[in-house]
Amino acid sequence: MFARAVNENETIKSALNDVILFKNDCEKGEGIEIAQKYGVRGYPTFISVNSKGEITDRWIGYEGPEAWSAVALAAAADPRLLTAKKAAYAAEPTAALARSLANDASTGYDFAGAVVFLKKARELDPANADATSRQILTYMAYGAQGGAFTFDDIEAEAKPALASGMLEPGDHVELALMLHSVASRSGDASRAAPYIAGAMKASEGSDDETVQKYRKELAVSNALVVEKDAGKAVELKRATMPDDWRESPRRLNQFAWWCFENEVNLDEALELALKGAELAGDDAERANILDTAAELCNRLGNCDEAIAHMQRAVELDPDKQYFKDQLARFQKAAEEKAKG
């Protein structure tokens, strides 16, 4: 999206008047070494450097021309090194420094640290509290995937944001999907029900294509958690998949894992996972899908099959400790089942 916008959007063009933009492919040629040097972990990552190649700012993600340009202009306005900005913040925090350091933290996937900085920025700059709150929720969404935030953490931030009326329909949908994911991992998906129902209502009738795309995913959550109709949820989930998903090992694995996570359609999920393993393009991919099959077998009570799939996964990818740990886990489950 940025690659197209940089050539078409006047806001971005204006922000780049005094900047040299250098595009780097981090997966090819010398780009790999450059990515390692600057600690690039995700795409797109933007790094502001001085004439010596020293980092003055860095941020990850593209959230539209206005948001991107605001960050780029802020980086250009303060050309101090990140190390100097950290020292300045420690001596006397400012909202601008807090946002810069939050961006830096998020680029390193330290989303918990980024949220701490943003909360300070919100405190120091109440005039822009709404925009900062939305950014906090975004970083919480990313961090929640790695367990950095609990449902209670996110809910405490979400409630005032919802009450203020500042969230757009797309924000409602993203928040509800995030809360459903976190609530599911905590073992109580029902906690997300009011947020899912609210987001379905808030996004109803939206003509935004992105909102409608993610609303289809939310409809799956709505069927599972609000309507408690597993069959409907499975059908809606199938409808969100690409036309050729049954011939793609990655897509088959995604669908099978979704069934496992939500404890629905387990028998078909196992069939699809095994098909995905057959279609896998390499040993690493095949081992990963067999792990999904093993989890499904274990959930279905087929401990011996779970062990067999994990043994095969270990054979295919012997250097991956996770697979060995999984095998030991399933072997222990089989022993306990045998004892009664």
Task: Please give the average pLDDT of every successive group of 10 residues along the chain, which has 340 residues.
Answer: 76 81 82 84 88 91 85 90 96 97 94 97 96 91 88 94 91 92 90 96 93 95 98 97 96 97 96 98 96 97 96 96 96 88
Q: Give pTM, 2 decimals.
A: 0.76
Note the pLDDT of residue 18: 75
Count the neighbouring beta carbons within 10 Å of the beta carbon of residue 64. Answer: 14
Say how far apart CA 311 and CA 92 lie, in whole Å: 56
Note the pLDDT of residue 338: 86
Beta bridge partners of 58: 47
Q: How far from 337 is each of 165, 301, 333, CA to CA, in Å?
A: 52, 9, 6
Count the neighbouring beta carbons within 10 Å of the beta carbon of residue 163. Answer: 9
Note the pLDDT of residue 263: 93
Q: How far from 189 is each of 178, 179, 273, 274, 320, CA to CA, in Å?
A: 11, 9, 24, 28, 31
Note the pLDDT of residue 17: 82
